[in-house]
Amino acid sequence: MVRVILILLLLMNCNHIFGQDQIFTNVYHRDALSLNGHWNYIVDPYENGYYNYRYEPFDQQEHPWASAFFLNSKPKDKSDLIEYDFDKMDRLIVPGDWNLQKPNLLYYEGTIWYKKSFEFKKSKESSRVFLYIGASNYKTEVYLNGQKLGTHVGGFTPIQYEITNVIDDQENHLIIKVDNKRLKEGVPTLNTDWWNYGGITRDVKVFETPETLISNYSIQLSPDNPKIIEGEIRLNGSQIENQEVYLKIPELKLDKPIQSNADGNYTFEFKVQDLEHWSPDSPKLYRVELSTSEDRLVDSIGFRTIKTLGTDILLNGQSIFLKGISIHEESPLSGGRANNIEDAKILLGYAKALGCNFVRLAHYPHNEHMIRMADKMGLMVWEEIPVYWTIAWDNVQTYKNAQNQLSEVMDRDINRASVIIWSMANETPTSDERNLFLNKLATFAKAKDNTRLISAALEQKDYNNDPNTRTISDPFAEVVDILSFNQYIGWYDGTIEKCQKIKWEITQNKPVIISEFGAGAKYGLHGAKDERWTEEYQEYLYEETLKMLDQIEQLRGVSPWILMDFRSPRRVLPEIQDNFNRKGLISEKGEKKKAFFVLKNYYESKN
């Protein structure tokens, strides 16, 4: 008990900022200079460009040696010793993982340095300039013109630094050290079931703003009154109070000034008429304009409510069944980490063809293209942070890291109508430390955003020692809004016929989503329905599993595992897996397996 209280006191003192300032909302729609394209790189497994021979970091020394890679040093004369030259090195494409770009880097875990030269001239002397990196896996050190901007930990959320006083009018060199080594205290930790893609995996851009700018905003329907649009607008700069701030939604004939409070935040609440709610059947998005005397932002925002009532999930006050599928962030076009809008269109297009109205984006925040495309296509979204399997629950820095990743993805996606669930974790074994960790994450999420639901893939056990009856035994079930759990009866748990015996006794008065079920199948491999790895086995398992799950009275959705086959170094069976998890309903080449059509027919029956 003393240990738990001590952990709680330590966690309460954690600052959610983890290596950078708050991420600005809607960088996506700001005019920017793209730094995507070819970058020179140096593979540095011993980190010789970061540490001297006594293992002291160069960037913590007053006069670092010229061998520090972030300096981009050049010989001053023929006698000068410089043992690297970015400009003579090979190149990688950004955004993109290094693993599939270079065969020798397929399994590489360690440090790679990236270098990009660019020119940027401000349009106004008073302007501010920012660097934005959509994501970089996993620990990222960022340097501009030899000056360190900061360190970011976490592989799936944005990185942002102000560079107004560092950027030059002429040539600049941006150098980024990326280290994807797995860490026991990391989030995720050492053991996962997906590929550890390294590199700068999302867009890099430089953007200019006025001195005082619109930095963050939240605009959505009141959870208590679906005829009221409410929210908050934050400014950043030296003149944040008493500004003229306007919210305009032309289609709703809304054009209103917003008054600031004492700390310069601008809160509002406006009643609207004839509002069309966002839904999968009608994914209505409104043009929203925010402006001050200096700054202007435009966004496309849908308005909807999502809540639970007993065992029901209510979208815009109406009961809804979540017809879902789980998705990993792998490109259906090129393999590797998905990173562009075409990837998003194809992946979510497959989900729509399956009959989905819902996608679970596992097991980490996906790129922003996916969320914005889900808004347009009418797909509800479960977003998740990589608190996965086993985490260092009693490590204060691990909690700080997890909360920061949650905060950053919430900042990025707070205005996306498609996002209905923030997930805290996946398949995490219960303990006092774990329960405290997840409870604190949920408390943080609910305080930051009271318009969405909280869930996690929970633990289960036999009910009253009956091996044929299961129940949700996880203490975190009392905290979440939706009960979710993964089950693999017929794959990891007995044979498919076991599905005909198992029942669930759910004691909590909450809706249930089966967040995962499935079986592996190699596309094109056929045989008897009891023969593992065949399409027929996967098909049969889906048929029997869906019958079994339909007996759960509180069932309000499923998101089977998984849309497409994806890479995993855990999956080594030759001629079947070949480093792919084969539970996809579609092969990595886009070929639909027989189980795809079983699930499609099931969803059609739910209309």
CA distance from start to end of the chain: 50
Q: What span, in angstroms and rounded, lies between the C-alpha atoms of 482 and 589? A: 34
pLDDT tens-digit readout, 338-376: 999 999 999 999 999 999 999 999 999 999 999 999 999
Both 335 and 267 in one domain: the answer is: no
Q: What span, in angstroms and rounded, lies between the C-alpha atoms of 21 and 203? A: 19
Asked, for residue 2, whether it belongs to a domain, the answer is: no
Residue 494 CA, chain-centre distance (Å), reads: 33
> Tokens 């318009």 — which residue?
451
Spell out the residues 6+ positions from residue 86 whose beta carbon is closer than 8 angstroms to its own.
Answer: 40, 41, 42, 69, 72, 113, 115, 175
- Tokens (6 digits) for 186: 């990391």
Q: What span, in angstroms and rounded, lies between the C-alpha atoms of 342 and 326? A: 19
Asked, for residue 86, whether it belongs to a domain, the answer is: yes
Residues 63-100 as b/e (b if ≥16 CB within 10 A, e otherwise) read: ebebbbbbbbbeeeeeeeeeebebeeeeebebbbbbbb
The upper half-sphere exposure of residue 364, i.e. CA atoms within 13 Å in the direction of its Cβ, equals 29
Asked, for residue 21, whether it belongs to a domain, the answer is: no
Asked, for residue 352, whether it belongs to a domain, the answer is: yes
pLDDT of residue 170: 86
Provide the domain count of the chain.
3
Both 164 and 271 in one domain: the answer is: no
Both 492 and 463 in one domain: the answer is: yes
Asked, for residue 176, whether it belongs to a domain, the answer is: yes
Neighbours of 48 (CB within 10 A): 17
Which of 191, 92, 200 minimizes the C-alpha distance to 155?
200
Q: At residue 216, what is the residue type?
A: N
Range of the domain at 397: 308-605
Both 559 and 510 in one domain: the answer is: yes
Of 176, 209, 242, which residue is a domain's last?
A: 209
Both 193 and 225 in one domain: the answer is: no
Separation in Å, CA 209 to CA 20, 125, 128, 479, 500: 18, 11, 5, 41, 61
Task: Check: CB of residue 235 under 8 Å from CB of residue 245.
Answer: yes
- Regions in the chain scoring below 50 on pLDDT: 1-19
Q: What's the burial of 127, exposed, middle or buried (CB within 10 Å: 0-12/13-18/19+)?
A: middle
Both 140 and 281 in one domain: the answer is: no
Both 427 and 471 in one domain: the answer is: yes
Both 321 and 243 in one domain: the answer is: no
Which of 565, 555, 570, 496 minimizes the C-alpha distance to 524?
565
Residue 230 is part of a domain; what is its CATH number?
2.60.40.10
Radius of gyration in angstroms for the set of CA atoms belonging to the chain, rounded to a whole number: 25
Across 328-398, where does the E strand assignment appear?
A: 358-361, 380-384
Both 320 and 267 in one domain: the answer is: no
Asked, for residue 3, whether it belongs to a domain, the answer is: no
pLDDT of residue 487: 96
- Tokens (6 digits) for 14: 């954690």
Residues 319-339 as b/e (b if ≥16 CB within 10 A, e otherwise) read: ebbbbbbbbbbbbbeebbbbb
pLDDT tens-digit readout, 511-542: 999 999 999 999 999 999 999 999 999 999 99
Both 428 and 498 in one domain: the answer is: yes
Tell me the DSSP string of 457-495: EE-EEEETTEEEEEEE--GGGGT-SSEEEE--BTTTBS-
Q: What span, in angstroms and rounded, lies between the C-alpha atoms of 439 and 454? A: 11
Residue 539 is part of a domain; what is its CATH number?
3.20.20.80
Asked, for residue 564, whether it belongs to a domain, the answer is: yes
Of 262, 288, 307, which residue is a domain's last?
A: 307
Separation in Å, CA 366 to CA 327, 329, 371, 409: 10, 6, 8, 9
Element (H, E) at 423: strand 419-426
Asked, for residue 80, whether it belongs to a domain, the answer is: yes
Q: What span, in angstroms and rounded, lies between the C-alpha atoms of 517 and 397? A: 33
pLDDT of residue 240: 84
Both 186 and 150 in one domain: the answer is: yes
pLDDT tens-digit readout, 306-346: 999 999 999 999 999 999 999 999 999 999 999 999 999 99
Residue 168 is part of a domain; what is its CATH number?
2.60.120.260
Of 149, 176, 209, which residue is a domain's last?
A: 209
Model's pTM, two decimal places? 0.94
pLDDT of residue 262: 63
> Tokens 């939240």 — which residue?
218
- Helix 432-448 and helix 2-12: axis angle, to 10°? 30
Task: Check: CB of residue 404 under 8 Å from CB of residue 195.
Answer: no
Both 249 and 392 in one domain: the answer is: no
